[in-house]
């Protein structure tokens, strides 16, 4: 497994992080034992970076991750990097909440659910326009000083918000959505992150499943799966993007890889991207994703991928306010 230094944080991590959004209940049902096996298998294969969040089932995902890694966390804590996120309350009157009370509760709950004495990387999940970024940064620094957090990052922030946060203390990492059907970060904030040595760990490099090659126009999702309410997974947008995936499949096959591996390798090939976060609910699904970190795409490959996706429909995703 290839590793990288995550920007100014100095954290040395695997280029693939194991993501656990799918283990919080927002992606439909799953087998808990199979999910634990997937996490442990990823670790066996060299993954040392695991990403979760308070909002992924409000403790469910964190507790499952902690359970899966329990013995190794006891035995080898310093060689496992745990990242989590806080500062949102989906389906509440204030979906984004970075005030002291909620952040404090979130950090303490995360420590308890994960059953660890510190969090390696704590991230503000979404910007809160009603909580000044400078104050939020100051609150998190207090937890760093107390030894409960080692590093501080943000997710879903733009360059202006990164700069505001940085007035109090530097942002060390950024976690934005990024895949072949969602490329807006290339304009903002990826250039800012590159210029300021901010470690970038992108989420949804497989387009929440669109780029796995496993969907057809007839594919439907469980009611508990957020994709059942997303315009990206229904109707004409879905059909058009699946046609793009079919073209990418052929190109990937010509290069001896799967379309999933192509999508992950593409994300990792972009300047300024350090890590791709990939989730799995079964051990069998993780090996192929990890192999993508060893795929080296040429400039010609990247140009051809741009050509093949030129007529793709840009998509968005879930936010604390709902599904788009």
Hey, which residues are catalytic here? 56
Spatial separation of the C-alpha atoms in residues 21 and 107, rounded to whole Å: 18
Spatial separation of the C-alpha atoms in residues 115 and 260, rounded to whole Å: 33
Nearest-CA neighbor of 20 among 36, 2, 8? 36
Q: What 3-state DSSP class applies to 236? A: helix
φ, ψ for residue 153 (rounded to 5)? Answer: -140, 180
In DSSP terms, 184 is beta-bridged to none
β 318-319/322-323 pair status: antiparallel
Q: What are the helix (H) ranges across 69-123?
A: 70-76, 100-114
- The DSSP line for 48-66 is -EEE--TTTTTTHHHHHHH
- The DSSP line for 127-140 is --TTS-HHHHHHHH
- Copy the structure tokens of residue 124: 């503000």
Spatial separation of the C-alpha atoms in residues 2 and 220, rounded to whole Å: 35
What kind and span of H or E run contains 150? strand 149-155
Nearest-CA neighbor of 276 among 75, 18, 99? 18
């Amino acid at each position: 497994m290839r590793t990288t230094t995550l920007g100014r944080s100095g954290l040395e991590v695997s280029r693939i992080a194991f993501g656990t959004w799918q283990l919080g209940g927002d992606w439909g049902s799953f087998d808990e034992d199979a999910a634990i096996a997937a996490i442990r298998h990823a670790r066996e294969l060299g993954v040392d970076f695991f990403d979760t969040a308070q909002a992924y089932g409000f403790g469910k995902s964190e507790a499952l991750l902690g359970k899966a890694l329990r013995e190794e966390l006891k035995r080898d804590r310093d060689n496992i990097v745990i990242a989590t996120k806080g500062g949102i309350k989906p389906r509440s009157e204030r979906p984004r909440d970075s005030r002291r009370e909620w952040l404090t509760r979130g950090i303490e709950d995360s420590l308890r659910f994960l059953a660890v004495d510190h969090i390696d990387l704590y991230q503000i999940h979404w910007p809160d326009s009603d909580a000044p970024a400078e104050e939020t940064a100051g609150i998190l620094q207090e937890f760093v000083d107390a030894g409960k957090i080692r590093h501080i990052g943000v997710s879903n922030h733009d360059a202006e918000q990164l700069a505001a946060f940085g007035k109090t203390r530097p942002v060390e990492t950024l976690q934005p959505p990024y895949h072949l059907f969602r490329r807006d970060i290339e304009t903002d904030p990826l250039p800012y992150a590159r210029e300021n040595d901010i470690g970038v760990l992108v989420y949804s490099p497989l387009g929440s499943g669109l780029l796995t090659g496993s969907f057809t126009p007839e594919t439907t999702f469980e009611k508990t799966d957020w994709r059942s309410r997303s315009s990206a997974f229904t109707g004409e947008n879905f059909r058009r993007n699946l046609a793009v995936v079919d073209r990418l499949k052929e190109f990937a096959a010509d290069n001896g890889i799967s379309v999933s591996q192509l999508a992950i390798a593409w994300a990792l090939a972009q300047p300024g991207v350090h890590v791709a976060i990939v989730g799995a609910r079964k051990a069998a699904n993780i090996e192929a994703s990890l192999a993508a970190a060893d795929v080296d795409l040429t400039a010609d490959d990247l140009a051809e991928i741009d050509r093949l996706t030129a007529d793709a429909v840009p998509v968005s995703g879930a936010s604390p306010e709902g599904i788009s």
